[in-house]
Amino acid sequence: MKNKMIFVSNDQEIDLGKITRLYPAALIHAGGESASVSLEWAELKANQITLEAYVLVCDFDPVGEVPLNRVELRFDTKEELFCVMREIAMQVKK
C-alpha cells in the first residue's frame, strides 16, 4: 500500500499522492476580476498589471477534465512560493 504524502500549509492538508496537476501561477487583478497567469507573463507585464498574490495550484481531477477539485495556496512573495515548492519536492522525493 502506498504511503500518504500529506503536506500541510496554512492549516490545509493536501495529499500529494492525489494531485494530478501542480503548478505555480501569479494571481492578477484585471478588468475587475482576478485571473491566474504564468509567472513569466506576470513578470513581462509587471508595469501593466496589479499582482494580488503568487499561488501554487493543486488540481485533483483527472487530466483532461475541467478542474473542479482544486486547492490554491496563496503567497505574498515569489520566494515564499518557491520555498513551498522545494518543500513539496523534498517530500515527494522521499
Contacts of 69 (CB under 8 A, 6+ apart): 59, 60, 61
Per-residue pLDDT of the chain (94 residues; tens, 9 = 90+): 355 788 887 778 888 989 999 999 999 998 888 999 999 999 999 998 999 999 999 999 998 888 889 999 999 999 999 999 999 888 877 6
Mind listing the pLDDT tens digit for each residue in 67-76? 889 999 999 9
DSSP state of 62: P
Cell numbers that stand for 49 in this block: 498589471
List the domain boundaries for the chain. 6-93
What is the strand order of the sheet 50-59 is part of? 33-37, 21-30, 50-59, 70-75
